[in-house]
Amino acid sequence: MAKVKAERIDQWEKRSGASRPKIGALFGLATGGSHFVLHKLQGHPQVMALKQRALFPELKHYFGEGSVQVADIVDKQLRPKKENLAGVEWIFVNKPQMAYLSNQYLFNRERISNIYCLRNPMALFHSRANDRMAFGKQVYDRELNWEDIAESLVTEYRVSMASFAQAFDPKLDLVINLESFAANLQDHLDMIWGHLGVEKIMDSDLALLDTCEKCGRPLSVKEGQVGTRFEELLYCEHDQLYYQGPGGYNYIRKFNLSGLHSWKQKNHAAKLTAYFSEHLGSELIDFFEDEAYMGGDARERFGELIDNTMAGFLT
């Protein structure tokens, strides 16, 4: 990628004649699928998605006097990287602290859109359980049980969703379900493109990572390790470099829809369903128990559900 010249965002704005991109913010819990969504966003030519902790502390300078360096933004984007900001309508920050955004609402609310990615809590439990148990034993010499982890997850969900609900504006913001997003991908991409007001692009036409960032050669595929799993990854033979992706995300992992309900065959499935239903609401948990995310009307059903959920956190 060509080196971006030293230039502030206000200088770029004057030189290019374009308005500085609007700011999108993607929220969600760790291992909640946010990097899958961000990767799809980054593939759109009019959207740039950033790494975690990038830009949002500087939003007051971005929106204000425009002193943020364009090169700092471009350098901190996800892959496949764009050369510059030409044609970019939205810059997405990754899991920001809400305070950095809310401080800008008074002056720039119409130029900010928040997207919350919500994952099935029973599936999220099983994504974390083994690591949490191993960590507790290794670091604290404490044997965790499933109730400990479930209770911790309930707290995370409630704190995260309640925080998002305080600022949620259905005209400007969006809540998506990871399972629905994966099962009805193009339908949900079209919804997001429409929400952002950008060109509607097919998933098959989104930009993909296919060349090494160091040598520029085409990438091949080779088995490597992602966390505790071994799977095929993008690989540069010349530089002997794997491209795993952020947050354990694998750019070429094949998504198996049957895996969306595999949690039902695992330990404590019935107890988990009852526990989360009691503490997060039966309407939300029934959506996953009934596999409603697979239906053609999943987007509409989840929209109604989330309106009720958000309202519940404000009462």
Residue 1: its pLDDT value, please? 64
Residue 131: its pLDDT value, please? 86
Place of tokens 């401080």: 103
Residue 17: its pLDDT value, please? 97
Integer Cα distance of 130 and 150 in angstroms: 13
Average pLDDT over residues 142-156: 94
CB 137 within 8 A of CB 9: no
Nearest to 144 by CA among 152, 136, 153: 136
Residue 315: its pLDDT value, please? 64
Q: Is the pLDDT of residue 296 over 90?
A: no
Place of tokens 């965790």: 144
pLDDT band at 78 (very low <50, low <70, confident <90, very high): very high
Average pLDDT over residues 131-138: 88
CATH code: domain 9-207+254-312 is 3.40.50
| pTM summary value | 0.94
Residue 112: its pLDDT value, please? 97
Average pLDDT over residues 258-267: 91
Average pLDDT over residues 274-301: 94
Nearest to 253 by CA among 226, 279, 276: 226
Residue 253: its pLDDT value, please? 84
Integer Cα distance of 2 and 300 in angstroms: 43
- CA 153 from chain centre, in angstroms, equals 18
- CA 41 from chain centre, in angstroms, equals 9
